[in-house]
Chains A and B, each alone.
Chain A
Amino acid sequence: MKKIIILLAILVPSIALLYFSLTRDPRELPSMLVGKRAPAFALETLDGKKLSLEMAHGKPLVLNFWSTWCEPCEAEYALIKRAYEALSPNGVVFYSVLYEDTTENAKAFIARNGAAAPILLDPGLKTSIDYGVSGVPETFFIDGEGTIRYKQSGVLTPDILTQNVRQIAVKGGGSQP
């Protein structure tokens, strides 16, 4: 009897642990800032204007981190462009922060794909690091009071986008999309 207990005591937890290991994605990082205040930033855009978190206060903000060299970002760009054109008249703010890339690349990209949300430059990656960005694309959904409600690691889908815009638009400012 004792032997059976020992056998099971070793076998079951080991296999359970390995089984567990197969059920999750090791590369996914936890979203730490959800529910917290969005870190402040003040960045220059591609056209030389200055945009800051302050300026979006009171309005729902979709903060997207992207690059021209990341393939999924190119697909996501089209989605964001559509959302920008549909939703910013309703008061939803879209900022696209350029991550680890050059202004030349960004300009060429816009020439190819058309202009959409304002593109913010983050030269020392200070803001990206401040937001805990580890790769692109990543998108933060921030409500009117400046709280991060959701972080999407990886490409946005139309569903995820609309769902979360709805969430941040409900509280504080901005009419329903």
Chain B
Amino acid sequence: MKSGSNLERVILSGNPAVTAELGPPMSASPDEVVHKAHTLKGFCDAANITDCQTAVVRISSIAAAFIAYREGLEPVMQMTCRDRNRIAMQADLLGAAALGLKNCLCIAGDHQKFGAAGKLKGHPGAKNVYDVDTTQLVGILRKMRDEGLQEGGDKIEVAPKFFVGASWTPMGDPMDFRPYNLKKKVDAGADFIQTQGIYDMELFKSQVEKARNLGILEKTALLAGIIVPKSAMMLKYMDSSVAGVSVPRPLIDRMMKAKDAAGDDKKKAKELQEEEGMKIAVELIHQALEIPGVKGVHVQAIEWESAIEKIVKAAGLYPRPNIAEA
């Protein structure tokens, strides 16, 4: 056992793992994190706590992860390469481990120019860091854990024991390089991988097969990303504008049909689309789990955490396994 985290235990047990996502608020109050933690608790093995996603200032991932942990939800803290140099990263990792956090997902982070895709002001004039990239950050975490050494080579008295994760955009371009990109992260030490949201399962399957042929899927736990669709508009937006995401036409048509079935009733249209979206999510989960090499799902219901309970239950993934600590 590398970290002893619940996520690691579930993965080792051979059960399909379920992770969810908890987005911290733009607020100094812990209430929303507490509330979301209770909504997710029991329906996932761990929940990712995003780190200023879309480059917007929110409660830091470590602080929100600790609040979730205190409420009994196992967090996956996230760390972007955008905001910290290797000194701050390692200091925060020691601190996070000292607080009891056991999972960490390493990501590049959205560029600060992104600013919530133009919906908020953000901080487009901020100076970014990118002292190390994701693969290098994964390597730093592994080195700290397994060798008890800092990146610079100094010894760590008590090493932080993280279950180390990285993200993967299997269908981003250049697509033929993506399996190799994954290999580098796994070779660097990624214990688990969470992917960008997948709608085109056939294409995903072929990318996973390429990764499997590289012999890396025995060394890591690949969790397929499922972004729960909320409306036809959201699916269309994701298809046209989100990097590495393509949505097959039949899925968009299904959501359009659900919307049209409500006629002029906007409330009904929302309900019907949400219902259809959850159905689609459940189907995607089943399809993903059938792909050889996929060890679980990362289900994101963005600002809609309440959907997770229904989806996980409908997918037959409830109750979550309770694997005792060794």
Binding partners A and B: no
Residues of A in contact with B (beta carbons under 8 Å apart)? none
